[in-house]
Amino acid sequence: MKDAITNGCDVLLIGYEDQENLGLRSIAAFLTGHGVRAKIEPYDRSLKDNILARIRMENPGIVGFSLIFQRMLFEFADLMTYLRQNGVTAHFTVGGHFTSIEFERTLELIPELDSVVRHEGEQTLLELFHSVDQHDSWSQIKGLAYRDDGRIKVTPPRPLIQDLDSIPPPVRSGTITTHRGLGICSILGSRGCYYNCSFCSIQEFYGEAPGPKRRSRSPSNIVCEMKQLFSERGIRIFIFQDDCWCMKGHKHQQWIRDFVRELKKEKISDQILWRISCRVDDVNAELISRMKEVGLMCIYIGIESGSNQGLKTFNKHYAVDDVYKALGTLRELKMPFEYGFMIFDPDSTMATVKENIAFLKEIGRDGQVIAHFCKMVPYAGTSIARRLEEEGRLEGTVNSPDYNYNDSRLNLLQLFFSQTFNFRNFDNNGLVERLRLAKFDAIVLNKFFSDRCDARAYTQAVRDLTRQSNESALEVMSMAANFMEMQNEEEILDNWQFLENLAREEKYTEMRIASDLDRLTSRYDFEEGI
């Protein structure tokens, strides 16, 4: 390892940072706390030259890549090739869910890569730093996969970190994300998840490493970080990135009560907003009421399907009636929510798709949430991917796994939905994201700026536009599904013009709603800051 007194850094961590990459930031803080000069460079596929220039300036001994998304595998491979071609000789290592699970395939596909840090990376990367020039000692580093004389070797998995309070808070540097002058940041209260949803790789990522499936920081430790961010960086809005905010069982319920008490004790609860994610069967009226009193503003809830067959496929362990009950509780508490939803899955039929559309119509009828949807992706390491492979149905590529449906007409329905709603559902300028942002903006105005505007009127206007968008999109989806259900593939293709006409009507409606939204938000545009 190069001399520690030289300029630059010892370890440069590169990762996707559209939202704060708390995994990278935690590793950077841990390394720094152990005397290793660690820095972070945000990843952007269009800025390879910037990354190369940063590496040349910092001259790190190790460059660590955070591969959060499986779909970005070959983007990172191209980046590593580019860096090697331009003379970068540092040790390249990578971490993340996919690379931990598919470490052999990762090393085979990316010859420029020297090692894979598996599972939680703090201690493993620290030990690698101290031994990077001593290849023979790598076999003693737990949680590492690497090349050795043309073969791939892997060491035993490293036990998971038991005491999350022992890890320093994530590195916070650079520009603060703001909304109306209020600082926003991500924060993490726990690691892991108890559940085993068939489409999720979290269990596989943590499951091989010894230790509890889920671990929490202490309430006082989290609130201490929140207060520091509040005081030193002006953060007023906290987005908890926990995989699941558990509300079942005495232990977790007491944890939440203690967390609420700590927020009240530090006297910041009336000056902040925060968001959590939870399962349908974790919704607890008493606990949510307590959290709402200290700033809880929104819950992201993993609904996933409005069909009992879909919920069974996803191994959710609850039924559609349970979903309606949970959403009813949130509405009674006047707690805003967002949700995840996969309208297509490997067991989809025309009937289940129509059930999903009817479900979205019901929950979006009042405009409190925007209707949106996607297709379930069989990520590496998930039980659904293994099942599809056993059935001979796993298709696509390593970075974009896919499958076809038992009813081939669903491939055409998926194509129509994708062509018609892709921009609406997934683009930052599409209606889904814009209406979500307006909904969030209304919550912020009501909390911090109610003396400057009629936040209630704004909230209602956003709901009206959301309701209109839901009605239009879901009616088009219903008509398309009914049309295809009555015909075979050849007839569908022969009459595709009918579907194109539906798509044009939807695009026109989206443009009108977007214009109305522009006019609405412009009326609430005023000087920011509190």
Domain check: are 120 and 49 in the same one? yes
Same structural domain, 202 and 77 = no
Same domain flag for 29 and 135: yes
Q: Are 231 and 128 in the same domain? A: no
Please give the DSSP secondary-structure letter assigned to residue 59. Answer: -
Residue ending a domain, choose from 154, 189, 211: 154
CB 24 within 8 A of CB 40: yes
Q: Are residues 22 and 69 in the same domain?
A: yes
pLDDT of residue 503: 98
| CA triple 219-225-229, angle to 5 deg | 140
Both 436 and 357 in one domain: the answer is: yes
The domain that holds 123 is classified in CATH as: 3.40.50.280
Q: Which residue has the tokens 């295809």?
A: 484
Q: Which domain holds residue 502?
A: 336-376+408-530
**Following CA atoms 382, 386, 387, 393 in sequence, which dihedral angle do they give, to the nearest 10 degrees?**
110
CA atoms of 80 and 154, how far apart (whole Å):
22
Close Cβ partners of 103 (under 8 Å, ≥ 6 residues apart) = 116, 118, 145, 152, 154
Q: Of the given ranges (161-175, 351-365, 463-477), which has the lowest mean pLDDT?
A: 161-175
Structural domain contains residue 323? no
Based on the fold, state whether residues 94 and 132 are members of the same structural domain: yes
pLDDT in tens, 317-372: 999 999 999 999 999 999 999 999 999 999 999 999 999 999 999 999 999 999 99
pLDDT in tens, 270-289: 999 999 999 999 999 999 99
The answer to whether residues 455 and 344 belong to one domain is: yes
In a domain, 273, yes or no: yes
Among 122, 154, 186, the domain boundary falls at 154
- Confidence band of 6 (pLDDT split at 50, 70, 90): very low
Quote the pLDDT of residue 18. Answer: 81
Q: Is there a single domain that holds both residue 215 and residue 275?
A: yes
Could you tell me if residue 182 is inside a domain? yes
179 beta partners: 182
Q: 89, 124, 154 — which closes off a domain?
A: 154
Say if residue 2's pLDDT is above 50: no
Average pLDDT over residues 374-397: 97
Q: Does 89 map to a domain?
A: yes
Q: Which helix (H) or strand (E) holds 513?
A: helix 496-523
Angstrom CA distances, 369 to 196, 239, 432, 468, 521, stand at 27, 18, 9, 11, 18
191/248 same-domain check: yes
Q: Please write down the HEC assignment for all residues of 156-191.
A: CCCCCCCCHHHCCCCCCCCCCEEECCEEEEEECCEE
Mean local confidence (pLDDT), 209-228: 97
Judgement on whether residues 50 and 137 belong to the same structural domain of the protein: yes
Does residue 438 lie in a domain region?
Answer: yes
What confidence score (pLDDT) does residue 45 get? 86
How many structural domains comprise the chain? 3
Whether residue 331 is contained in a domain is answered as no
Q: Which amino acid is at 367?
A: G
Rounded CA gap, 307 and 330, in Å?
A: 20
- For residue 445, give every residue at least 6 positions away whose Cβ sits within 8 Å of its Cβ, in sequence order, or none: 180, 452, 453, 455, 458, 524
Alpha-carbon span 99 to 205, nearest angstrom: 9
